[in-house]
Every structure is written in structure tokens, then in C-alpha cells.
């Protein structure tokens, strides 16, 4: 039940529940030396009490007034009692988002402690932001292709890059080849137009983490959860509505089972490779081709890079590789999901 406002400076409402929690005893309002009874439920009159006034009253009125004044005095005391400042809440840990342009970000001078056993799953794995790929898939590292026969899968890591990725896309289009692009989340966020060129051409996207930390298994479950799921969200946002991110490739192949479990539990198949070009070292076009051909066979998953530095040698080697694959009657496939 609500009561009308009490006018006048310094008045406060005091709730004497359950003492005045009935129709005959409405709430009491207090001032420094007064107590006033609010309007009754049935339109009764207001009764004012003062230590200097009201010398005559019925026994019941005196009893009620005394209770009201005692409560008011308690309230006045509470207003003047010192209140200690609340202890500040501990700051929440955040993970900085920075774009990787060459090497992984520098780590702290104090080495992280390695978990003695796989950390427990974090509550942060629950997401409600509508990111695609929520259906659980196998956590086994995928080294096979969707298509059989004489097929290969081309994969490119560390992009997208506004200079090198479009050149690679142009070469793939010329040879009617499809590929999978394993992207770093902040790079995708910085270059959404390039991400949409990738998907518009029919290629697939892969989560390659936020910071490209090649030692992430030494970190906590929370850290890894954010590295994987935040990157996926950034890639999906850059690609636009309905985009899928069906794979996760761990930086440096740091594929501990519990890390794979995080990705698989959110619909991303851990993606490996079988033919490493070593193009990130920029050893020369001939050396890149030599590394690829050392393990090139039907069913191979080739690892190259479209980001992380100067990829002139990668573009040159890819041009030669596509010519070779066409001449050898290879077809192009995606990794299995």
C-alpha cells in the first residue's frame, strides 16, 4: 500500500514492519524532533507528536508515539553513524586484442606455469552471441579431405592481409582452385572486406586464434577459451551474416586434447596439415616448392601463409604449384569436417 507524499524539509519515511503493517497503523515519518503519523487507510486524521507537545494522550496513543519516537531516534543515529568505504572489487582480467603482423607478441619475463593436468572447462565456453558453429564435432585432428581421388587441399595461415590475400585469391580463381584460410581474429576484424572476398569466392574460413600464441597450452582454460572463441567471433563478424567457421588450427600445432575439446565443442574441427611449405621463413621460391613436393600426394593438406610478413615468395611459389597440380591432373578439395 502506498501513501501520499509528506511535505516539508527533512522528512523521511520509516517502515515499522511488522509493528505498523496493518490498516490501523500506517507508516510513521520522522524528523529530528518530530514524528508524524501518515494518512490512515480509511482517510483518518494525521497525528503529530513532539517531545515538547502533546502532554495529554490516551494510553494507547502514548504507547504508539513512544514506539515511533524510539524508531525515529534509531534512524537519526543510523544517519550520523560513520560508514566505512566498501573495499574495491578486484579488477577483472582482460586479454588485449592486437593484430599480429609478423611474430607472436612478446611474452612476460616470468614464464607461465604449465598446468599439471588439463584445466577444467571454463564457464566462459557458454556463448549467447549467435556465433556460428555451435554443433559439436570430432576433436580428432583432421588430416583428410572431403573428396577422394587425386585431390589436395590448400590452406593459408595468418591472414587476411590486404596486400597478399587478394593476390592469392586471384591465382586461385585463375586455376579454379578452392582453399581454406586460417585467420587471426584481429586481422579479420581489421580487414572485413578481404574476408568477404574469400567467402564470396567460395573458399572456407578457419579460426587461427587471437594472438597466435604458439605456447597457449601452458596457459589457463579461460585464456584458451577466449583465444579460440573470441577469434571465431571476430572472423564470423567480419565475414557477415550466415558465415561459417568450421575449423580451428592451433598456432604452431599446439593441439593438446583439452584445447581441441574447446574447439570441437563449439563446432570447429581441429585442422592439421601434411605438407608444410616453410614459406614463413622466406627461404626462396625454389626451397618452398621443394618442401611442398616432399610430402605432396593425393589427400595432402598443404600449409602456406597469406599473412605475417612479406609473402612475395609465397605468391610466386603458389603460381608454380598451381601450374604443376593442373599439369598432374590434381583436383582441389576442402579438409573434412
Global pTM reads 0.63
Mean pLDDT of 175-195: 99
The owner of cell 585431390 is 151
Percent of the chain whose predicted confidence (pLDDT) is above 90: 60
- DSSP result, 112-129: PPPPSSPPPPPGGG---S
CA quadruple 229, 232, 233, 236: dihedral, nearest 10: -160
CA 128-121-94 angle, 5° bins: 65
Which of 208, 266, 305, 306 does the annotation list as catalytic?
A: 305
**Residue bearing the bigger pLDDT, 118 or 94:** 118
Backbone angles phi, psi at 274, to 5 degrees: -125, -15
Q: What is the pLDDT of residues 308-335, one digit of tens each?
A: 999 999 999 999 999 999 999 999 999 9
pLDDT of residue 107: 33
Q: What is the pLDDT of residues 197-241, one digit of tens each?
A: 999 999 999 999 999 999 999 999 999 999 999 999 999 999 999
Mean pLDDT of 98-115: 35
Mean pLDDT of 15-37: 39
Domains in the chain, CATH or no CATH each: 12-78 (no CATH), 139-332 (3.20.20.370)
Give the number of C-alpha atoms closer than 13 A to the C-alpha of residue 248, restricted to the C-beta side: 35
pLDDT of residue 317: 99
Tell whether the model's pLDDT for residue 298 goes beyond 50: yes
Secondary structure element (H or E) that encloses residue 304, with its range: strand 301-305
pLDDT of residue 134: 60
Residues 77, 200: Cα–Cα separation, whole Å: 71
Close Cβ partners of 12 (under 8 Å, ≥ 6 residues apart): 29, 30, 31, 75
pLDDT of residue 135: 83
Tell whether the model's pLDDT for residue 26 goes beyond 60: no
CA 203 vs. chain centroid, Å, equals 25
Which of 157, 158, 161, 230 does the annotation list as catalytic?
A: 157
Average pLDDT along the chain: 74
Tally of CB atoms within 10 A around 179: 23
CA 10-14-15 angle, 5° bins: 165
CA 278 vs. chain centroid, Å, equals 31
- Is 157 noted as a catalytic residue in this protein? yes
| 7-11, 135-139, 204-208: range with highest mean pLDDT | 204-208
Q: What is the pLDDT of residues 255-284, one digit of tens each?
A: 999 999 999 999 999 999 999 999 999 999
Tell whether the model's pLDDT for residue 16 goes beyond 80: no
Amino acid at each position: 500500500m502506498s501513501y501520499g507524499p509528506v511535505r516539508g524539509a527533512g522528512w523521511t519515511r520509516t517502515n515499522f514492519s511488522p509493528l505498523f503493517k496493518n490498516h490501523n497503523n500506517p507508516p510513521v515519518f520522522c524528523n529530528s524532533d518530530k514524528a508524524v503519523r501518515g494518512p490512515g487507510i480509511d482517510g483518518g486524521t494525521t497525528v503529530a507528536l513532539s517531545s515538547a507537545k502533546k502532554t495529554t494522550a490516551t494510553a494507547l496513543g502514548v504507547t504508539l508515539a513512544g514506539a515511533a519516537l524510539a524508531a525515529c531516534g534509531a534512524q537519526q543515529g543510523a544517519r550520523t553513524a560513520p560508514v566505512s568505504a566498501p573495499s574495491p572489487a578486484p579488477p577483472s582480467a582482460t586479454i588485449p586484442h592486437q593484430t599480429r603482423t609478423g611474430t607472436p607478441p612478446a611474452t612476460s619475463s616470468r614464464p607461465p606455469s604449465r598446468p599439471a593436468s588439463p584445466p577444467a572447462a571454463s564457464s566462459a565456453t557458454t556463448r549467447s552471441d549467435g556465433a556460428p558453429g555451435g554443433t559439436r564435432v570430432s576433436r580428432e585432428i583432421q588430416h583428410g579431405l572431403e573428396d577422394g581421388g587425386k585431390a589436395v587441399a590448400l590452406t593459408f595461415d595468418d591472414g587476411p592481409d590486404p596486400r597478399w590475400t587478394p593476390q592469392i585469391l586471384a591465382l586461385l580463381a585463375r586455376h579454379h582452385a578452392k582453399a581454406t584460410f586460417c585467420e587471426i581474429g584481429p586481422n579479420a576484424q581489421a580487414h572485413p572486406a578481404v574476408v568477404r572476398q574469400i567467402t564470396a569466392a567460395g573458399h572456407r574460413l578457419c579460426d587461427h586464434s587471437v594472438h597466435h600464441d604458439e605456447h597457449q597450452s601452458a596457459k589457463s582454460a579461460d585464456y584458451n577459451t577466449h583465444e579460440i572463441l573470441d577469434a571465431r567471433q571476430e572472423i564470423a563478424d567480419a565475414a557477415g551474416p550466415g558465415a561459417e567457421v568450421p575449423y580451428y588450427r592451433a598456432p604452431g600445432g599446439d593441439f593438446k586434447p583439452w584445447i581441441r575439446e574447446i574447439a570441437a565443442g563449439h563446432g570447429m574441427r581441429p585442422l592439421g596439415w601434411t605438407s608444410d611449405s616453410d614459406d614463413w621463413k622466406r627461404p626462396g621460391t625454389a626451397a618452398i616448392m621443394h618442401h611442398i613436393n616432399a610430402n605432396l600426394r593425393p589427400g595432402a593438406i598443404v600449409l602456406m601463409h597469406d599473412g605475417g610478413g612479406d609473402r612475395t615468395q609465397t605468391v610466386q611459389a603458389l603460381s608454380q604449384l598451381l601450374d604443376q597440380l593442373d599439369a598432374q591432373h590434381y583436383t582441389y578439395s576442402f579438409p573434412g569436417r
